[in-house]
Chains A and B, each alone.
Chain A
Amino acid sequence: MEKTDELVAAAEDVAVVPVPPPPSVRRPRPWPLGAAVLLAAAATAVVLLGGTGWLDRPAVGAWRTVCLAIVVQAMPFLVLGTVLSGAINAFVPADLFTRVLPKRAVLAVPVAGVAGAVLPGCECASVPVANSLIRRGVTPAAAFAFLLSAPAINPVVLTATAVAFPGNPAMIAARLLASLGTAAVMGWLWLWRGDEKWLRPALRHRHTGHTHGRSRWREFRIGFQYDFLQAGGFLVLGAMAAATFNVAVPRAVLDAFSGTPWLSVLFLAGLAVLLAVCSEADAFVAASLTGFSPTARLAFMVVGPMVDLKLIALQAGTFGRAFAWRFCTATTVVAVAASALTGGALL
């Protein structure tokens, strides 16, 4: 696992020198509270309405089951990711990342994207790890390339894809290429257009991990605790949203959309965002969507690990809301384009 760290180095010197923020930069940021209250209220309302017969009980039961299933399924990967990110913060020497990788950010992006292959987890693990890489001085562009590629191209996910699409190596190659391409393009896009103002203040002022006068163990423990609680909260938020969609819209309805090729690509891309299937399982879901063209199913597998409801929530919590919506929108567009191109060429 530690290999991740060696590979994902960065040209941090090129990156922005933190500018002391003028006081005006501070925004009111009540949104996590607002969202939490809103959702708690919504959940209570759903339960109450269910109790009064407005929704039948099985629906509420199914909602709770699906919601909890997403959380339980993601929990090991979230723990892995936050432990790893805590360890990177506390135990990895600060200059490691700057030593190992290309100094130029333009080159660091694709290298970081390829390095995503060594994190054997799903998307929930990669968000905290990318976060700690940035805090460790990795240029955000490279960290984002890693963030996007890691859940899509690691060996576990590619093996699952091979199992789900037996005798179809082109699908595996297409998934690998389209995911890597999207990750690299998004990294470069960040270098070109990105603005660190969108990131949370805590990320803009890179802190150096280990603080003088505190034990590393304590540093690790507090970092882990904070990251886990924060990411876990957002995971629950995303799981609630995905479960609502999952229960409210029966799968049978979806097959109606498989007609036109272009529409079906967009539709499955949107479905990947809403369903929030774990990247280790999405190949099986894609394989089961037999009515759709191979390119549409590829789009499902490329978009899913990069953008979905629980990821948007996780990213908003980790990197900031201003970042999350811009980044997720751009990623969706790039990922759909990449799958359409790759799918057109290979499938």
Chain B
Amino acid sequence: MRRLFQGLLLKLTGLGLLRVTLFSDTYLRYVKPGLRPVLIASGVVLLLLGIAAAFSRTGSEGHAPDDQEGHAHDGPEGRPHDGPGGHEGHDHSGTPRIAWLLVLPTLSLLLFAPPALGAYTAARSGAKPVAVQRKGFEPLPATSPLPLTLTDFTKRVQQDRSRAIQGRTVRLTGFVTPDPAGDGWYLTRIIFTCCAADSQTVKIHVHGSGSGSAGPPAADTWLAVTGTWHPAGTLGTGSAPAALDARRITPIARPINAFTDDLPVTPG
């Protein structure tokens, strides 16, 4: 029974990994795209070894041989098997009981993939400190509205001494995080450094809701916002807020790989 469970657990874990990588993009909720090949490879290895375990069980050996010559028992002294703990967990014969915990992520992967991080996480994390750009800034392209990433917009506002961003109409994309203070809302991106456990957040405060003033859009909606820098403080220094006066707001589809700070691709 136990050995059946071992093989099954390997196979299920493998299948779970393959399901989220091979047959959907679900894995992008948890890790970066670059991990996909090794995740697939791990899934295949686990699946194959799980199948191998199932096949070896059909051989003549039943329960006994494994208990007799388990890995931990080669010593001449072989441990007696009495005591309250029985003989679980200390050699290679049984299933380590802790292995049952693997059922949770496996079922999660197979049946109930947890949701992507969103406004809840973003609201509770501090703004990502934007790296200081040492090299100075290129001149901005002349297109208008100018597509920028949230990180680039923040850098231009707070670090670009030439103030190239002044008066320019930019186009930013991200999802909505409500502002608890009630004044406007945040256009947000969550960026994975490695996986969802070490994500960082970039936020741009958005003033005005474009044409109508129907209040802030619902949390977690993906939007493209066209607008200009919201003047306050001194542009090009840290005192300038990363904020935008919105002119036009259009809903967009959630990007497949949502956890980067990529340029908006959709036109419009």
A311 to chain B, nearest CB (A): 14
B-contacting residues, A59-103, CB 8 Å? 59, 61-62, 64-73, 75-76, 79-80, 83, 89
Q: Could you mark each residue 110-141 of chain B with 1 if its beta carbon is under 8 Å from any beta carbon of chain A, else 0?
A: 00011111111100111011010010000000
Contact A211 B69, CB 8 Å, known A65-B196, A275-B198: yes
Contact A36 B100, CB 8 Å, known A72-B39, A83-B45: yes
Report if B4 contacts A (CB, 8 A): no
B56 to chain A, nearest CB (A): 7
- Contact check: which of A80, A236, A281 meets B104 at CB < 8 Å? A236
Q: Judging by beta carbons under 8 Å apart, are A236 and B102 in contact?
A: yes
Chain A residue nearest to B98 (CB atoms) is A233
List A contacts of B76 (CB < 8 A): 20
Q: Judging by beta carbons under 8 Å apart, are A73 and B194 in contact?
A: yes
Q: Judging by beta carbons under 8 Å apart, are A277 and B120 in contact?
A: no
Query: Which of B83-91, B154-162, B233-241 has 4 or more CB atoms under 8 Å from chain A?
Result: B83-91
Q: Judging by beta carbons under 8 Å apart, are B198 and A285 in contact?
A: yes
List A contacts of B9 (CB < 8 A): 229
Q: Judging by beta carbons under 8 Å apart, are B72 and A221 in contact?
A: no
A-contacting residues, B9-52, CB 8 Å? 9-10, 13, 17, 20, 27, 29-31, 35, 38-39, 41-42, 45-46, 49, 52
Q: Judging by beta carbons under 8 Å apart, are B75 and A18 in contact?
A: yes
Contact A281 B195, CB 8 Å, known A32-B97, A229-B99: yes
Q: Judging by beta carbons under 8 Å apart, are A28 and B84 in contact?
A: yes
Q: Judging by beta carbons under 8 Å apart, are A32 and B124 in contact?
A: no
Report if A251 contacts B (CB, 8 A): yes
List B contacts of A222 (CB < 8 A): 66, 71, 92
Contact A233 B96, CB 8 Å, known A67-B105, A250-B125: yes
A237 vs B30: C-alpha distance when bound (angstroms): 18
Query: Which of A109-117, A185-193, A198-206, A326-334 has 4 or more CB atoms under 8 Å from chain B?
Result: A198-206
A191 to chain B, nearest CB (A): 23
List B contacts of A319 (CB < 8 A): none
Report if A184 contacts B (CB, 8 A): no
Q: Judging by beta carbons under 8 Å apart, are A29 and B85 in contact?
A: yes
Chain B residue nearest to A25 (CB atoms) is B79
Q: Judging by beta carbons under 8 Å apart, are B125 and A251 in contact?
A: yes
List B contacts of A275 (CB < 8 A): 197-198
Q: Judging by beta carbons under 8 Å apart, are B83 and A28 in contact?
A: yes
List A contacts of B187 (CB < 8 A): none
A205 vs B17: C-alpha distance when bound (angstroms): 36
List B contacts of A151 (CB < 8 A): none
List B contacts of A43 (CB < 8 A): 104
- Contact check: which of B46, B84, B104, B200 meets A288 at CB < 8 Å? B200
List A contacts of B195 (CB < 8 A): 69-70, 72-73, 278, 281
Report if A48 contacts B (CB, 8 A): no
Report if B80 contacts A (CB, 8 A): yes
Chain A residue nearest to B128 (CB atoms) is A288
List B contacts of A234 (CB < 8 A): 98, 101
Contact A29 B75, CB 8 Å, known A65-B115, A69-B31, A251-B126: no
A-B contact count (CB 8 A): 223
Size of interface on B: residues with Cβ below 8 Å to A: 75
List B contacts of A71 (CB < 8 A): 105
- Contact check: which of A70, A72, A201, A284 meets B90 at CB < 8 Å? A201
Report if A14 contacts B (CB, 8 A): no
Q: Judging by beta carbons under 8 Å apart, are B126 and A237 in contact?
A: no
Q: Judging by beta carbons under 8 Å apart, are B10 and A225 in contact?
A: yes
Chain B residue nearest to A73 (CB atoms) is B195
Chain A residue nearest to B17 (CB atoms) is A75
A277 vs B199: C-alpha distance when bound (angstroms): 11
A222 vs B53: C-alpha distance when bound (angstroms): 8
A289 to chain B, nearest CB (A): 8
Contact A64 B108, CB 8 Å, known A221-B49, A233-B101: yes
Report if A262 contacts B (CB, 8 A): no
List B contacts of A35 (CB < 8 A): 98
| Known contacts A26-B79, A70-B197, A233-B99, then 19 further A-B pairs from the complex at CB < 8 Å, ordered by chain A residue | A29-B89, A30-B85, A32-B89, A32-B96, A32-B97, A65-B116, A69-B197, A72-B31, A72-B195, A75-B13, A89-B71, A207-B75, A222-B66, A224-B49, A225-B7, A229-B6, A232-B13, A234-B101, A317-B98
| A and B contact pairs by CB, cutoff 8 A, 25 listed | A23-B80, A32-B96, A32-B98, A36-B98, A61-B114, A65-B29, A65-B30, A66-B117, A66-B197, A68-B114, A72-B39, A72-B105, A73-B35, A75-B39, A76-B35, A202-B71, A207-B73, A221-B52, A223-B92, A229-B102, A230-B98, A233-B96, A233-B102, A237-B101, A280-B194
Chain A contact residues, CB within 8 Å of chain B: 18, 20-21, 23, 26, 28-30, 32-33, 35-36, 39-40, 43, 56, 58-59, 61-62, 64-73, 75-76, 79-80, 83, 89, 135, 167, 200-202, 205, 207-208, 211, 213-214, 218, 221-226, 228-230, 232-234, 236-237, 239, 242-243, 246, 250-252, 255, 275-278, 280-282, 284-285, 287-288, 290-291, 317
